[in-house]
Amino acid sequence: MTGGHLAAGRLTIAWIWGIPISVHVSWLLVFALVAGSLAAGYFPEREPGWGAPTRWVLGALTSLAFFASVLVHELGHSRVALRYGIPIRGITLFVFGGVAQIGREPDSPGAEFRIAIAGPLTSLALAALFGGVGTVAGSMALVSVPALWLARINLFVALFNLLPGFPLDGGRVLRAAVWAWTGSFDRANRAAAAAGEVLALALIGVGTLRALGGDVAGGIWMALIGWFLHSAVAAGRAQAALRDLLRGATVSQAMARDCPSVAPDLTLERLVHDEVLGAGRRCFVVEEDGHLRGLLTLHEVKGVPREQWSRAKVEEVMQPAQALSVVGPEEALLGALQKMDDAKVAQLPVVADGHWLGMLDREHILHYMRVRAELGV
């Protein structure tokens, strides 16, 4: 599955192709549930002669292999996205599987289709691989039993993700098809979101009926998946509304032109006394003769010991201009917001021909959006 955002509570465990791989705290729950169900249910049915230590160790290893498969599924999406120049902010394993957080939407229906289908195709390949290993292992039950389970679960992951509802991969395939047919991304997005909402409500309804019918654990789990998909659809619609609101807007329409600038030789002590405590400011452009030298925020100030403030100068601790992400006044506002997300910053200097013109930050973007919404334009 691609897209989406997860809250805090994540631990980055690796980097692959420059992509941070994280585990959300909720993953521990589903890892334990999968390992426990294998050790206490599936393995005893297949191999009654296995002792408890064997079942539990193999259950934990098989659960890890399953989530490694989920990670490979997300890497399949990510690899194709990177080929199209689309950044991947990260991949997170969590209670409902995994999610690759793509930096922006694809530019064409073809790219959308290839990125979306890469995940299920990867899972199908893993299913074939594990199935082959299980078949070759034959009577070597310690290998064949978990391998064949992994083959079936990867096949299920592929088929479930192909269901035609956003944000599942099948929903993105549907969006690509409607986009190619109509030529309108917005119409395609609405169609995929509507299909996703129907699918989510169906899962919630069927899950509730299953729980009432006696399959409490399975029913609740299905309903929770439906709830998650429904929440993702709502988040997708909010992003679509944001795109509509910012369509056609440029950076110059939302930037702050009165952002405070300070001289590079100003001491931190004077800066804190006059600008931070005196005026309540938190971010400063550093310029000299009208040219941008750098950017200074409270984050850099706090990194300098208090006793050094009287000697340390702004230019010694600022973020230099060459290391900054900047935007031009005529750039699309939506693209600038995306650039903020990619750079993980809350503000961007607005520069033209090397001259600083103002500052774009999230607060001014929100103000611009509120005004447009109030005016209905």
Checking if the pLDDT of 308 tops 50, the result is: yes
Checking if the pLDDT of 221 tops 70, the result is: yes
**DSSP code string of 170-183:** HHHHHHHHHHHHHS
CB atoms within 10 A of CB 126: 25
Note the pLDDT tens digit of each residue in 53-75.
999 999 999 999 999 999 999 99
Q: Cα(59)–Cα(143) distance, rounded to whole angstroms?
A: 12
Checking if the pLDDT of 284 tops 50, the result is: yes
320: closest CA among 275, 278, 287? 287
Q: Where are the domains of the chain?
A: 10-162, 183-247, 251-375
Check 45, 47, 74, 105 and give the catalytic one. Answer: 74
For the chain, what is the radius of gyration of the CA atoms? 26
Note the pLDDT tens digit of each residue in 163-214.
888 888 998 999 999 999 999 888 888 898 888 889 889 988 988 998 888 8
Token reading at 196: 């996703």
* Predicted pLDDT at 178: 94
Q: For the domain 251-375, what is the CATH code? A: 3.10.580.10
Checking DSSP bridges between strand 319-320 and strand 261-262, what pairing results, if any? Answer: unpaired
Q: Cα(51)–Cα(91) distance, rounded to whole angstroms?
A: 36
Active site residue 74: yes
pTM higher than the cut 0.85? no
Note the pLDDT tens digit of each residue in 142-159.
999 999 999 999 998 899
Q: Average pLDDT over the chain, rounded to whole?
A: 84
* Predicted pLDDT at 5: 47
